[in-house]
């Protein structure tokens, strides 16, 4: 079946997914830390939040690749 991935591809996707999830968590922590100290650097906060959204989209795409819908 052409759309299926082998174990090596699946492992590479999973490793990338794990790395992106960790970066997403780190960004979340950085955003919370900046907000808790009352940072006035709104531009930095906006950049972090934008990067977090990009990561979320990439994570979703990788998850979809690893576990495709099984709708016949």
CA distance linking residue 21 with residue 19, whole number of Å: 5
The pLDDT tens digits for 16-54 are 999 999 999 999 999 998 888 876 788 889 999 999 999
pLDDT of residue 63: 92
pLDDT of residue 1: 42
């Amino acid at each position: 079946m052409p759309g299926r991935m082998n174990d090596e591809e699946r492992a590479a996707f999973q490793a990338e997914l794990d790395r992106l999830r960790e970066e997403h968590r780190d960004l979340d922590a950085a955003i919370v830390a900046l907000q808790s100290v009352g940072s006035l650097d709104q531009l930095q906060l906006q950049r972090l939040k934008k990067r977090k959204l990009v990561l979320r989209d990439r994570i979703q795409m990788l998850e979809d690749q690893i576990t495709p819908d099984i709708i016949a």
